[in-house]
Structure 1
Amino acid sequence: MKLKAVLVGTKGWAEAHAKAYQVCESIELAGICGHSNVERLNHLADQYRIKHRSLDLAQLLLDTSPDVVDIVSSADARLELVKAAVQSPGVKLINIEKPLALTPSEAYEIADICHAHGKLVLVNHQHKYLPAWSKARRWLQDGAIGSIEYIRASTKVNIMEQGSHLIDMVMFFNDFSPVRWVMGQTGAYEGKDSSSIIAPDESMASVLFDNGVRASFECGAFARSIQGETNPFYHIGIDVYGSDGHLKIDLNQKLELRNYITQQHLVEKSSWEESYMDALIAYMESIHGYVSNPGAGHICDLEHSMLSYQVMMAIYHTAKYGGKAILPHRFEDSIVERYIDEASRSAGMQ
């Protein structure tokens, strides 16, 4: 039996979700909720034949009684939308776009209220379902480069935007090993990239996992460039070095594996442009299995997503206070809010 979903959001990525629902076999889109743009709301609802549409999420939930609430709104509205969603007794799962929240307190509150109301939560890190990236993880798990020793990861977009995906993918490649400590640094907020999310333009960090693997992160304009790319959002790459070889993958260029012992050398295509919709559909199809068997967990569930969110907040924390952040740790909002204050002052001076 298909699950019913309600989509919250009407902008670009929300439309990608609406399109993906059209071909999902295990979940159907029963309604769509907008914020204030009625014309945009009706356009999407008509285009994708969505019967129920509203600017009032609470009313839409009453009208549709969905199993899933899919929140694809701006990050600053997510907490209030989650609060509305948990009040609907029939809702089994809430899907949230990355980042989970803009401040630690919001992330903790989302987790607390969803646990209190017995709602499952996923954070949409659909990169895990890209064919080349899922293959890369299988190779790593199969020992294609021996034991993982070091991971280098980079993106030319800020830490809250694509950095959120980047950190999550490193956790995924390292089999979600707990993090022992994080030591990071950030630059100022100057709005150098096109992201709508306020975050430091540059950030970097060193991370030590409990299994002994070390990782380094570079986020922002200063990060390395991926050869052949012109879109800043496509300058995402992860290099994994093991005892017997290395694996390198770019978001939209190639996947490469080299084993120093066997001399095996494989190069395959990695394409976001050709694969992102299939990855999004596969991610959505996985929801049914998780709802049917929550005990099995999910690679994008709240527990896994909070691990990568904690790493992100630890970078902010050590940038402000210095030293290392030992995880787990409960972070305060001031580590993030200072960049929002910078952005406000910058806007006031213009």
Structure 2
Amino acid sequence: MARIYRVAVVGCGHRGREHAAGIQAESRCQIVALSDVNEQAAESLNRDLGLNAKVYRDHHDMLKQEAPDIVVTSLWTPLHLPVFRDSAQAGVKAVISEKPMAPTWGECLEIANIAQETNCQLTFCHQRRFAKGNQLARKLISEGVFGEIQRMELYSPPNLLDCGTHTIDQALSFVDETPVKWVLGAVDASEPLNWFGVSAEGMAAGTLVFENGIRAHIQVGGPDMDIWGGVRVHGSKGFFAVDWDGKCLEARVYDDPAWQLPVLAEGVDNHMVGVVGDAVDALEAGIEPELSYKKALRASEVIFAFYESVRRHARVALPLQGVTDNPFVTMLENHRF
């Protein structure tokens, strides 16, 4: 008989609901607790999904009373580190967290250290890796359909930390997780944003170069974007473009004008089912999950290196050294724009 994992959801807003639906679709999981400082949000989620879970206002009480196997956190970015720390110290086996990792590079590194030291499996919700179109794109790249990948164009709505992380992660998945070698960036801070408790730019643009020589231009927010969010990949034998969710926007194979992208099976493309299922599979097999914090850390490093490039007015090589803050926020607070 398969083990049933006791799951607690911390943060019961819009994304918390999507996570909960993904958990409900996983037969090996049962939601036993909901926690939110807004108790009405938790009660509403409990009622709407018929969960019959126990509701808490304080996640500390929930961890102590329920001792869940898995915790799903759907919280504002500054809360990711403290709630993960509390969960790992309470003996939780796995945490599925919303992206991005944290507001600063130092906090990202601290999260990674906690995960390594406690052996608590940690994933971040770059859920678009499970989109059928993105999976197909990775398959075609690995089969050499588009030849050797030479360059990419990355697009995302604002801002780099909260939204751009999806596009950077998407690009990393297309180049088989090859690390970025250096970053050169610029931002438009004329009208700063505040997303989930973190200040951010309205537009960013720059260049990334991967260790294998692939170059990428990135634009996050602003006018005149070819793609609202997604990636265009240019190879020696062809090119393709997909949106965030893997929907094909265009594709060509140069020596075969009749070539067409394979037709995907119809049906709902529920990324959250993949997020939860992969986390449970990895937990049971003792392997690294697809959405491992190690991959999120790599994407986060690119983002903070990008901001550091703005601060230094210079190209920044990776691995990122001498940075623990969020350079954009520091510059904004010090009236450097």
Q: Which residue of 1 aligns with 2:221?
A: 220
Q: Which residue of 1 aligns with 2:274?
A: 282
Q: Which residue of 1 aligns with 2:96?
A: 95
Question: Counterparts of 2:66 and 2:35 in 1: how far apart (Å)?
Answer: 11
Question: Counterparts of 2:256 and 2:191 in 1: how far apart (Å)?
Answer: 48
Conserved 8 A contact 2:275-2:291: no
Conserved 8 A contact 1:317-1:335: yes
Q: Which residue of 1 aligns with 2:60?
A: 58
Q: Which residue of 1 aligns with 2:304?
A: 313
Q: Which residue of 2 aligns with 1:229?
A: none
What is the aligned counterpart of 1:78 among 60, 76, 80?
Answer: 80
SS at structure 1 position matched to 2:165: helix
Q: How much does 1:302 deviate? A: 1.4
- Where do 4+ consecutive residues of structure 1 move more than 6 Å? 192-196
Distance 1:193-1:119 versus aligned 2 partners, 3 A rule: closer
Distance 1:223-1:81 versus aligned 2 partners, 3 A rule: farther
Conserved 8 A contact 1:256-1:265: no
Question: Counterparts of 2:78 and 2:143 in 1: how far apart (Å)?
Answer: 40
SS at structure 1 position matched to 2:160: coil
Paired amino acid for 1:326: A
Gapped regions of structure 1 (runs ≥ 5): 227-234
Question: Counterparts of 2:45 and 2:239 in 1: how far apart (Å)?
Answer: 45
Count of residues in correspondence between the two structures: 331
Q: Which residue of 1 aligns with 2:244?
A: 251
Gapped regions of structure 2 (runs ≥ 5): none
Paired amino acid for 2:241: K
Question: Counterparts of 1:182 and 1:342 in 2: how far apart (Å)?
Answer: 23
Conserved 8 A contact 1:148-1:242: yes
Q: Which residue of 1 aligns with 2:155?
A: 154
Question: Counterparts of 2:262 and 2:192 in 1: how far apart (Å)?
Answer: 35
Paired amino acid for 1:82: F
Paired amino acid for 1:239: R
Mean Cα displacement is larger for which, 281-290 or 259-268?
259-268
Question: Counterparts of 2:326 and 2:113 in 1: how far apart (Å)?
Answer: 20
Q: How much does 1:47 deviate? A: 2.1
Q: How much does 1:267 deviate? A: 4.9
Paired amino acid for 1:77: L
How big is each residue's C-alpha offset from its partner over 1:285-340, in whole Å with a ceiling of 9 and x where there is no partner? 1111111223x322210111111111111100001102221111232315132366
Identity of aligned pairs, percent?
22
Question: Counterparts of 1:67 and 1:56 in 2: how far apart (Å)?
Answer: 18
Paired amino acid for 1:246: F
Q: Which residue of 2 aligns with 1:69?
A: 71
Distance 1:98-1:189 versus aligned 2 partners, 3 A rule: farther
Paired amino acid for 1:283: V
Paired amino acid for 1:249: V
Conserved 8 A contact 2:311-2:328: no
Question: Counterparts of 2:288 and 2:55 in 1: how far apart (Å)?
Answer: 32
Question: Counterparts of 1:223 and 1:110 in 2: how far apart (Å)?
Answer: 36
Conserved 8 A contact 2:33-2:66: yes
Q: Which residue of 2 aligns with 1:263?
A: 257
Question: Counterparts of 2:25 and 2:41 in 1: how far apart (Å)?
Answer: 22
Paired amino acid for 1:173: F
Q: Which residue of 2 aligns with 1:237?
A: 230
SS at structure 2 position matched to 1:18: helix
Question: Counterparts of 2:80 and 2:46 in 1: how far apart (Å)?
Answer: 21
SS at structure 1 position matched to 2:256: coil
Distance 1:255-1:193 versus aligned 2 partners, 3 A rule: farther
Q: How much does 1:65 deviate? A: 1.9
Question: Counterparts of 2:42 and 2:55 in 1: how far apart (Å)?
Answer: 7
Q: How much does 1:186 deviate? A: 1.2
Conserved 8 A contact 2:70-2:93: yes
Distance 1:119-1:194 versus aligned 2 partners, 3 A rule: closer
How big is each residue's C-alpha offset from its partner over 1:100-150, in whole Å with a ceiling of 9 and x where there is no partner? 111112111111222222211111100011111111111111111001000
Question: Counterparts of 2:275 and 2:258 in 1: how far apart (Å)?
Answer: 31
Whether 2:171 is the aligned partner of 1:180: answer no
Q: How much does 1:11 deviate? A: 1.1
Q: How much does 1:26 deviate? A: 2.5
Paired amino acid for 1:314: A
Conserved 8 A contact 2:155-2:167: yes
Conserved 8 A contact 1:32-1:50: no
How big is each residue's C-alpha offset from its partner over 1:203-224, in whole Å with a ceiling of 9 and x where there is no partner? 1121111111111110012350
Conserved 8 A contact 1:183-1:318: yes
Whether 2:326 is the aligned partner of 1:325: answer no
How big is each residue's C-alpha offset from its partner over 1:169-221, in whole Å with a ceiling of 9 and x where there is no partner? 00011110122111111121514698764211111121111111111110012
SS at structure 2 position matched to 1:134: helix
Q: How much does 1:28 deviate? A: 2.1
